[in-house]
Amino acid sequence: MSKAPLLRPFSQRRAEKARAKRGKSRKKRTEKRRCTLPQFSGKRPIPKRQRESAASRREEKRPGGSPRRRRREAREKRKSRRPAAMSPKLKREAVSPTPKSLRAFSCQLKEGERWMERRMQVKARGGARRAHHPSLDQVSISVVGKGVYNPPPPSLEVKIGEVCNRKLVKMDGEKSVLEACRVMGKRRIGSVLVTLKGKPYGIFTERDLLSRVLAEGVDPRRAKLKDHCSAPLITVDENYTVRECARIMSDMGVRRLLVTSGGKLVGIFTSSDLTRVLSRAPLDF
């Protein structure tokens, strides 16, 4: 039995009519869209050669392809650059370290670093937020931000050429001690390199100021740098390690070593540089 149309309200009927109309038009449109393709329209498909020639013509017209194609290629390139997916076993280990992994990671710093790397990889993918290893409290690896792994800081085996101060403050030996003191105070440094006719001659340090100028009652305004500086210079090659330099400094009773490379002065290694390296060196346990 069919439904009585009069039982429905007028507004409902009107809505139904409109819906039917819309559905018809959509169907028409979709059909039209589908029909444009040669496979659906019943037309003869374009041969491969023709298609290729058309593609080459398009390539000539637009070098590098269409914007859509370029975008797709870039997306694929980005995808290929991403690191390989972590195995579920590794992921499990990173999330909750088992006693076995604890044993493996607790002693060696390198192992700790590797663990850290893995952990950061997991973290970068948005997982394993709770991951924490007790040995990491003792390992000096700085973590900045999400998924960022900082390389380990310099150790005592680093060459001094890498950690020395390359900014040498030079002053002519004819200048007064007072001027040198002003420069040292302004730049917050403890020594200046004294030169004679452009060539390095000696070094004027805070100790020289105390023991050779002030203690002897010399007027710093009149005293010349070349008369009160420490000469000759004590130099080391840049290939020496920080550990060796620390030993040299303690053996020779100096706080500053000038760094040379191929017979040329390249920098200065001071006790403050040594403390800086020591404070950032990883623990060796």
Partner 1 sequence: MPKCSCCGRELKEKDKGKTWRECRYCGLPVCFNCTHYVGTTVRDLFGEHVEVVCVCGTCRIRK
Hey, what are 171's tokens? Answer: 């002053």
CB of 237 to partner 1, least distance (A): 8
Site for partner 1 in 37-56 (CB under 8 A): none
Q: Which stretch binds partner 1 (CB under 8 A): 23-31, 74-82, 169-177, 253-261?
A: 253-261
With beta carbons less than 8 A apart as the criterion, state whether 196 and 226 touch.
yes
CB of 154 to partner 1, least distance (A): 13
CB of 280 to partner 1, least distance (A): 18
How is residue 82 annotated by DSSP? S
262 touches partner 1 (CB under 8 A): no
Q: Ramachandran region of residue 219, left (φ > 0), alpha (ψ -120 to 50) or beta? A: beta
Nearer to partner 1, 250 or 275 (CB): 250
Q: Which stretch binds partner 1 (CB under 8 A): 58-66, 93-101, 175-183, 254-262?
A: 254-262
Among 111, 172, 238, 244, binds partner 1 (CB under 8 A): 244
Among 126, 185, 232, 253, binds partner 1 (CB under 8 A): 232
| Distance, CA of 253 to chain centre | 38
What's the one-letter identity of residue 139? V
CB of 172 to partner 1, least distance (A): 15
d(CA 198, CA 265): 13
d(CA 71, CA 77): 10
Among 142, 150, 211, 239, binds partner 1 (CB under 8 A): 239
Among 199, 221, 222, 279, binds partner 1 (CB under 8 A): 199
Length of the chain: 285
With beta carbons less than 8 A apart as the criterion, state whether 126 and 117 touch.
no
Close Cβ partners of 164 (under 8 Å, ≥ 6 residues apart): 238, 259, 266, 267, 268, 269, 273
Site for partner 1 in 131-190 (CB under 8 A): 157, 159
d(CA 13, CA 35): 33
237 touches partner 1 (CB under 8 A): yes
Close Cβ partners of 222 (under 8 Å, ≥ 6 residues apart): 176
Nearer to partner 1, 181 or 248 (CB): 248
Binding mask 96-135 for partner 1 (x = CB under 8 A): ----------------------------------------
CB of 158 to partner 1, least distance (A): 10
How is residue 62 annotated by DSSP? S
Q: Find the largest Cα–Cα distance for the chain.
A: 126
For CA atoms 224, 234, 163, 139, give the dihedral sign: negative
Residues that bind partner 1 (CB under 8 A): 157, 159, 196, 199-201, 232-237, 239, 241, 243-244, 247-248, 251-252, 257-258, 260, 263
